[in-house]
Amino acid sequence: MTENKPDNMLALIAIIAAVTAMAVSLSLSIPLVSLSLERRGYGSDIIGLMGSLPALSFLLGSPFIPFWTRLFGVGKMLWGALILAAICILSLAISDNIYFWFFLRLLIGFSMAILFLISEAWINTIAREETRGRTIAIYVSVMTCGFAFGPVLINIIGAEGVFPFIVSSLIVFSAGFAFLLVGGKFPDLSAQSKFSILRFFKIAPMISAAALLVAFFDGSVLTLLPVYGVKTGQTMEMAVLMTSALLAGNVVLQLPIGWLADKYDRNWVILGCGILGVAGALLLPLTVSEPYLLWPMLIIWGGAVVGTYTIALVIMGQDFKGGDLITATAAVGALWGLGSLVGPTTAGVAMEIIKPHGMPITFAAACFIFVLLAIWQISTSKAARNNP
């Protein structure tokens, strides 16, 4: 199947609009499901298991996306996943069978994996090399805004009855209008990849580690930071604001990080982000009781950690094309699912063992491993250039 290349600016607008709509819908539906289950009397174990299903879908479904994309083409994959997600979210409103909800949540996770991963491959296909960093940074920033807006929307439309699920379904379906902008002209990602997903982990260890690290960050730090704040003496309101500060860093610092990636060696930029990630985790226990230090530290920390993922996507688009790119993106998606599953459990157990600072200590260790890997890759790349 041959698919035409759309106008780059139009395609960029379509991708960002579509991903933002999907991010809002996903971040709206996840707490809606949790709150609905809580009202129906289900325990935190069932709610937690339900919440883990999207990550499980990314882990299990991502490896199949390159094959499905070659088989059906990008356009059919995007529209099929979009319709499936909208129908499944709507179905949550018309059924209260817990087993059916588990099935629906898995399907929603699979469809979102398709939509997000193909979109990331697509944006790397249209990005120009000289501005790739800034292009990916805008994509990540706007997507983060979408994820942050979902919970806010609950306060506007409420969390009871079928109406919020209908709104969530309509939001995700609205992404289809963005796809209509490109007039059916989608990128061609149908070429056979020269490597498998497992092989990608060996070919690109730093990209793989960055995806795993940021998923671990999202799953552990963003989930447990309010709990950590309360345990270290903050009020509930202040503890929640700590998460908001992290998200603010995710949004406002990606464009400067992307600009650095366009001007300087991207390997050194991602290493710098990793070092700031270690520093932020180690400084958190020291600054949590010092507001004037805590808030700027959280903004810089959040932006730097997510910056490792932004630069990983930039390097991935720089090094891989066509069928190789969609396989690389699928590998990153699988790692994202793994990190999102492992992160909350690991950090939660660490907080029980090392009270109350187990979470930042655990993340500091994870970030330090990433830094060592980045230094190793920079060293090996330099040696390869000096000994062609």
- pLDDT tens across 359-380, in order? 899 999 999 999 999 999 888 8
Instruction: Tell me the range of 18-27, 132-141, 157-166 where mean pLDDT is highest.
Output: 132-141
197 has pLDDT over 70: yes
pLDDT at 388: 56
The pLDDT tens digits for 318-334 are 999 988 999 999 999 99
Topology alike, domains 8-181 and 197-381: yes
141 has pLDDT over 90: yes
What architecture is domain 197-381? Up-down Bundle (1.20)
Q: Which residue would you say has higher pLDDT here, 227 or 70?
A: 70
Residues above pLDDT 70, as percent of the chain: 96
355 has pLDDT over 80: yes
Q: Which are the contacts of 101, defined by CB distance < 8 A and separation ≥ 6?
A: 33, 50, 92, 95
Q: Which CATH superfamily is domain 8-181 in?
A: MFS general substrate transporter like domains (1.20.1250.20)
87 has pLDDT over 50: yes
311 has pLDDT over 90: yes
Rounded Cα distance between 258 and 139, Å, is: 11
pLDDT at 161: 81
Q: What is the mean pLDDT of residues 162-172?
A: 88
Q: Is residue 228 a contact partner of residue 351, using CB atoms and an 8 Å limit?
A: yes
pLDDT at 314: 95
Per the prediction, the chain carries an average pLDDT of 87
The pLDDT tens digits for 92-107 are 888 888 889 899 999 9
Domain ranges of the chain: 8-181, 197-381
pTM, full prediction: 0.89
The pLDDT tens digits for 211-260 are 999 998 887 777 788 888 888 888 877 887 888 888 889 999 999 999 99
Q: Which residue would you say has higher pLDDT here, 266 or 238?
A: 266
Range of weakest confidence among 44-53, 54-63, 223-232:
44-53
pLDDT at 63: 92
The pLDDT tens digits for 274-289 are 999 999 999 999 998 8
Residues above pLDDT 90, as percent of the chain: 43
Rounded Cα distance between 28 and 163, Å, is: 12
pLDDT band, very low/low/confident/very high, at 4 (cuts 50, 70, 90): very low
pLDDT at 377: 87
